[in-house]
A and B are shown apart, each in its own frame.
Chain A
Amino acid sequence: MSETLTKIVVNCETGEQQVLPLTAEEIAQREADAAAFAVAEAERIAAAEAAAAAKASGIAKLLALGLTEEEANALVK
């Protein structure tokens, strides 16, 4: 049996606090948000990995030119 997802709604005018089950529409929105989040995260991680790989490649080429590791790191920082 699956868990019933709930939401808390705090009415700032009355102070009333309700614990309500999510509607089907809200669950669908939540799943859509999760899917969009997964896509955005994948893009962000891929971009970060590409940048790190480019940085490492650049450092390797600078070292091959005769720079010290400290000099190479300073240039690509």
Chain B
Amino acid sequence: MANTYTLIASNTLSSSASSVTFSSIPATFTDLVLKISARSTEAVADSSFDTKFNSVTTSTYSRVRLRVNGSVVSSSLFSNASNIGGSDNVTGSSATANTFSNVEIYIPSYTVSQNKPVSLFNVCENNVTAFHMNVQAALWRNTAAISSITMDGIPSSGQFVSGSSFFLYGIKNS
């Protein structure tokens, strides 16, 4: 059972950026947790960003997702994705002003020589009835320890706006 929660690094954007990377992540913790509050420059209500480990972009990520958009529930499965993440996980610039999505990504046992399970939860705040919530379970089929994590705004024009914040925590099991 986790009994510590240590801030490893953080960044609050002072200007828009396409991606945020935490590099040289120490291998001294048991689990990692990312807490993100973000908004995109893309002119939609709900935009998207993806997450990659160790800059790997090959089809080694699997993910299954349950999503709710207002009262509409749907699910999707991707067996050979090139990243973790997906649609509607960050508030876009057409949403109510000054609203941000909140995201948590949990990565247990990030240093072990096994495939890495990952969970992701997010809500795109918009102060309206229909907003997106996502619950995602993913697997990165790679045995390397995770030493860097990149959050990348998509599509290609999407960027994280100034004020978006990214916090990386380490958790120890003793």
Chain A interface residues (CB < 8 Å from chain B): 5-15, 17, 19, 22, 27, 29-34, 36-38, 40-41, 44, 47-48, 51
Interface residue B21 (Cβ < 8 Å from any Cβ of A): yes
- The distance from the CB of A70 to the nearest CB of chain B, in whole angstroms, is 17
18 contacts across the A-B interface (CB closer than 8 A) = A5-B18, A7-B17, A7-B19, A7-B20, A8-B13, A10-B10, A10-B21, A12-B23, A12-B26, A13-B24, A13-B26, A19-B17, A32-B57, A36-B82, A37-B48, A37-B50, A40-B81, A44-B76
Chain B interface residues (CB < 8 Å from chain A): 8-11, 13, 15-26, 48, 50, 57, 74, 76, 78, 81-83, 86-87, 152, 154-156, 159, 166, 168
Interface pairs A-B: 5 shortest CB-CB: A34-B155, A34-B156, A13-B24, A7-B19, A5-B18
Contact of A8 among B20, B57, B74 (CB under 8 A): B20
**Chain B residues near A31 (CB, 8 Å)?**
156
**Chain B residues near A10 (CB, 8 Å)?**
9-11, 20-23, 166, 168
Given A12-B26, A36-B82, residue A6 in contact with residue B18 (CB < 8 A) = yes
**Chain B residues near A36 (CB, 8 Å)?**
82
- Number of cross-chain contacts by CB at 8 Å: 84
- The distance from the CB of A77 to the nearest CB of chain B, in whole angstroms, is 11
Known: A17-B11, A33-B57, A44-B76. 4 other contacts (CB 8 A): A5-B159, A8-B21, A12-B26, A33-B50
Q: Are A30 and B18 interface neighbours, CB within 8 A? A: yes
**Chain B residues near A7 (CB, 8 Å)?**
17-21
**Chain A residues near B78 (CB, 8 Å)?**
40
**Chain A residues near B155 (CB, 8 Å)?**
34, 37-38
Rounded to whole angstroms, the CA-CA distance of A14 and B17 in the bound complex is 21
